């Protein structure tokens, strides 16, 4: 049966394979028998096989690599437990839910029309800019319920486990506990494979999960959705490095399904969907936005500097201090976002300000605690006897302050107030209401009962000065993710961003206008020839290997080769840029050249990435 796992003998070895199709004759003159059918369960759906072929071509990869991402490893015990005979032959299918009311979607003029289209079995495509304080999981559950009411299936991808738990709870409340499955690598092999088989057999109409679910089989797919598509967790780190957003949009195109791309911020890629007419934007009226938005103020504008001249250099200006104090007095929690984790992740000589580097590997030194010894962030060696190579000084000062040090400082500043931290070591899902300080790194901000009375965005320079094409976009995404947790201004909610109010990302935050900033970013990238206005591929490896691959590649007319630029170690990176219309030709040429090197058994590997998140 097509879709089953098989073993075939290739070059004298047994290798894994898939049975894609059975035909009476073949054009190939010499054929060999299949050595073994590993399992009779057809785990590879025809539509997923077709999708995998398209994704492999788009990302200059191989079909086998994509199928490795699409189908989880076999779990024999689960296959024996979960078989088609387990379902009763007379089991009646569950009745589809009735078409849901628009509920929170009424805050968006185009929201009710989106739900009606899904409930009618049509395939709307939308880019949704969520309001502050929005229960996005409930809105997605409503959209999924409308799709299921039309007798179709839905697939929703989120960035991490916390978002998955919120969406799971929202769908359970809306559809019940037996109408969807969760797919995530964190589930473990057995639970993940059991959920995958339930989706493959059509036992449930809805699949949700992290990027591991972007290839999940869904019967009669009617909606694909992704939340916060700018999160880098949506980018697959294994070859051929597909992005969940692009895979889902490709599925929508192939299956003629609806698509929903949502978030508090908006990426340039999502804006391109709107500007080309592929999708329609779903945004709130300004009156509703003003009623839902907290009071957002910067600390670097002229009026604030006139009142507090030290605000330009202070890490916690008086405006932020006052906002936190007033919120705590009102028995409301305060969220403080700090871009760096740890205690003092970067230190320098206290006498000459020279950055402190490891004597062994030249990596940056950091202090793990107030009484700890400096240690290298690269090789982890302790530099207890560190002396500055420039002046001989032995005293160190902070260059960058981390979340743990910030929690320590604010705990002393507000004695008696409970202080919680949320970051890499422990990520909090939620915190109770009432006075308290929450120090969190971006993406680890917990939800507070009733919302935060104040949100302080510190060390904004660390996000804005990153050497990255997406620095401004990423800064705005992280700020809006934290600011959305604050109470509305009418309820006393305030957001203080320690940055100059004239900066474009700060302006977008003040007006809560992610669409304006995304359109600005896209226009600049068109002018400079950067993605998504153009398509690019990075070729990374040793200089000789990179040059060899590019010499073999028959790039399309109009292709530009940029570089080289240094990569890690002795490797270098070359960039290939083409118009969007020639993207398929570029990917095909690079894939063919990589195949030629593989056939020649070239020893030095080369990494190919189409549309990488980081270009430099």
CB atoms within 10 A of CB 292: 20
Identify the DSSP state of 243.
B
Report the CATH fold assignment for 96-288: Rossmann fold (3.40.50)
Structure tokens at 439: 């120090």
**CA 593 from chain center: how many Å?**
30
| Residue 84: per-residue pLDDT | 46
| Residue 29: per-residue pLDDT | 79
Ranges for all domains in the chain classified under CATH 3.40.50.300: 96-288
pLDDT in tens, 583-609: 999 999 999 999 999 989 888 999 999
What 3-state DSSP class applies to 399?
Answer: strand
pLDDT in tens, 493-536: 999 999 999 999 999 999 999 999 999 999 999 999 999 999 99
How does residue 328 score in pLDDT terms, banded at 50, 70 and 90?
very high
Mean pLDDT over residues 249-266, rounded? 97
Measure CA of the first residue to CA of the last residue in the chain; give whole Å: 47
From residue 213, alpha-carbon distances to 61, 106, 158, 177, 350 in Å are: 19, 30, 9, 19, 50
Q: Which of the pair, 571 or 86, is modelled with greater confidence?
A: 571
| Residue 302: per-residue pLDDT | 56
Structure tokens at 554: 């028959």
pLDDT in tens, 377-399: 888 889 888 899 888 898 888 77
**Phi, psi at 271, each rounded to 5°:** -65, -35
> 148, 179 in Cβ contact below 8 A?
yes
pLDDT in tens, 413-467: 899 999 999 987 788 988 988 999 999 999 999 999 999 999 999 989 888 888 7
Residue 95 has pLDDT above 90, yes or no: no
How does residue 31 score in pLDDT terms, banded at 50, 70 and 90?
confident
Mean pLDDT over residues 84-111, rounded? 70
Element (H, E) at 589: helix 583-599
Residue with tokens 């992740």: 345
Q: Give the integer Cα–Cα distance in Å for 476 and 484.
A: 12
How does residue 616 score in pLDDT terms, banded at 50, 70 and 90?
low
* pTM score, whole prediction: 0.90
In the chain, what is the greatest distance between 2 CA atoms, to the nearest angstrom? 85
Identify the DSSP state of 538.
E
Triad 549, 550, 555: Cα angle to 5°: 125
| Residue 615: per-residue pLDDT | 76
Binding site for Zn(2+): which residues? 349, 352, 358, 361, 376, 379, 388, 391
Residue 89 has pLDDT above 50, yes or no: no
| Residue 395: per-residue pLDDT | 87
Q: Give the integer Cα–Cα distance in Å for 78 and 585.
A: 42
How does residue 482 score in pLDDT terms, banded at 50, 70 and 90?
very high
Mean pLDDT of the chain: 90
> 49, 19 in Cβ contact below 8 A?
no
CB atoms within 10 A of CB 595: 12
Residue 305 has pLDDT above 60, yes or no: no
Q: Give the integer Cα–Cα distance in Å for 401 and 404.
A: 8
**Range scoring the smallest mean pLDDT among 297-306, 332-341, 463-472, 599-608:** 297-306
From residue 552, alpha-carbon distances to 337, 377, 536 in Å are: 48, 40, 18
What architecture is domain 533-610? Answer: 2-Layer Sandwich (3.30)
Structure tokens at 367: 């202090």
Mean pLDDT over residues 53-70, rounded? 95
**Share of residues in the chain with pLDDT > 90 (%):** 66
H-only helix segments in 266-347: 268-275, 286-292, 302-307, 318-329
**Range scoring the smallest mean pLDDT among 228-232, 305-309, 315-319, 580-584:** 305-309
pLDDT in tens, 433-442: 899 999 999 9
| Residue 12: per-residue pLDDT | 80
Residues 42, 46, 50, 55: is their CA dihedral positive or negative? negative
Binding site: which residues? 349, 352, 358, 361, 376, 379, 388, 391
Q: Give the integer Cα–Cα distance in Å for 508 and 515.
A: 9
Residue 90 has pLDDT above 50, yes or no: no
| Residue 21: per-residue pLDDT | 87
Q: Give the integer Cα–Cα distance in Å for 363 and 381.
A: 10
pLDDT in tens, 157-170: 999 999 999 999 99
Q: Give the integer Cα–Cα distance in Å for 449 and 171.
A: 21
How does residue 307 score in pLDDT terms, banded at 50, 70 and 90?
low
**Share of residues in the chain with pLDDT > 70 (%):** 95
| Residue 86: per-residue pLDDT | 53
Q: What is the 3-state secondary structure (H, E, C) of 418-466?
A: CEEEECCCCCCCEECCCCEEEEECCCCCCEECCCECEEEECCCHHHHCC
Which value, to the nearest 10 degrees, does the dihedral of the CA atoms of residues 261, 466, 509, 317 take?
Answer: 150
Ranges for all domains in the chain classified under CATH 3.30.70: 533-610
Strand partners, 535: 578
């Amino acid at each position: 049966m097509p879709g089953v796992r098989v073993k075939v003998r290739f070059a004298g070895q047994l290798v894994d394979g898939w049975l894609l199709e059975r035909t009476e004759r073949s054009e190939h003159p010499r054929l060999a028998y299949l050595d073994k059918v590993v399992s009779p369960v057809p785990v590879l759906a025809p539509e997923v096989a077709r999708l995998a072929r398209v994704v492999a071509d788009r990302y200059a990869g191989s079909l086998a690599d994509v199928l490795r991402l699409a189908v989880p490893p076999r779990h024999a015990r689960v296959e024996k437990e979960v078989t088609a005979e387990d379902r009763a032959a007379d089991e009646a299918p569950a009745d589809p839910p009735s078409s849901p009311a628009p509920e929170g979607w009424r805050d968006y003029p185009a929201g009710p029309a989106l739900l009606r289209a899904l409930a009618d079995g049509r395939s709307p495509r939308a880019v949704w800019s969520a309001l502050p304080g929005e229960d996005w999981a409930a809105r997605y559950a409503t959209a999924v319920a409308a799709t299921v009411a039309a007798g179709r299936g839905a697939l929703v991808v989120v960035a991490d486990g916390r978002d998955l738990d919120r969406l799971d709870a929202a769908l359970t409340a809306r559809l019940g506990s037996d109408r969807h499955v969760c797919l995530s690598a964190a589930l473990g092999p057995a639970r993940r494979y059991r959920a995958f088989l339930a989706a493959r057999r059509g036992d449930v109409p809805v699949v949700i999960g992290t990027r591991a679910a972007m290839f999940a089989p869904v019967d009669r797919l009617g909606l694909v959705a992704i939340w916060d598509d700018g999160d880098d967790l949506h980018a697959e780190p294994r070859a051929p490095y597909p992005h969940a957003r692009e895979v889902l949009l490709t599925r929508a195109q192939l299956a003629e399904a609806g698509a929903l791309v949502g978030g508090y911020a908006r990426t340039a890629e999502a804006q391109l969907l709107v500007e080309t007419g592929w999708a329609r934007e779903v945004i709130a009226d300004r009156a509703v936005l003003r009623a839902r938005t907290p009071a957002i103020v910067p600390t670097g504008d002229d009026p604030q500097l006139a009142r507090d001249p030290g605000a330009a250099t202070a890490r916690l200006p008086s405006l932020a201090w006052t906002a936190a104090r007033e919120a705590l007095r009102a028995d409301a929690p305060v969220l403080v976002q700090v871009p760096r984790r740890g205690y003092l992740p970067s230190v320098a000589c206290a006498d000459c300000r020279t950055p402190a580097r490891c004597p062994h590997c030249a990596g940056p030194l950091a202090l793990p605690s107030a009484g700890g010894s400096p240690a290298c962030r690269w090789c982890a060696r302790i530099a207890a006897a560190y002396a500055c190579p420039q002046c001989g000084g032995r005293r160190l000062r902070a260059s960058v302050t981390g979340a743990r040090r910030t929690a320590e400082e604010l705990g002393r500043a507000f004695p008696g107030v409970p202080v919680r931290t949320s970051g890499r070591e422990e990520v909090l899902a939620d915190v109770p209401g009432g006075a308290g300080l929450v120090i969190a790194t971006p993406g680890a901000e917990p939800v507070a009962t009733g919302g935060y009375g104040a949100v302080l965005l510190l060390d904004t320079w660390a996000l804005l000065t990153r050497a990255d094409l997406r620095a401004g976009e990423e800064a705005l995404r992280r700020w809006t993710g934290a600011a959305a947790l604050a109470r509305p201004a009418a309820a006393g909610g305030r957001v203080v961003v320690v940055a100059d109010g004239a900066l474009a990302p700060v302006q977008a935050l003040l007006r809560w206008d992610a669409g304006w900033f995304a359109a600005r970013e896209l226009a600049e990238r068109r002018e400079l020839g950067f993605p998504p206005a153009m398509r690019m591929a990075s070729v990374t490896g040793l200089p000789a290997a990179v040059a060899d691959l590019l010499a073999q590649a028959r790039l399309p007319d109009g292709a530009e080769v940029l570089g080289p630029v240094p990569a890690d170690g002795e490797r270098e990176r070359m960039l290939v840029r083409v118009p969007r219309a020639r993207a398929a030709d570029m990917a095909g040429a690079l894939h063919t050249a990589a195949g030629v090197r593989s056939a020649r058994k070239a020893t030095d590997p080369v990494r190919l990435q189409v549309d990488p998140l980081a270009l430099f």
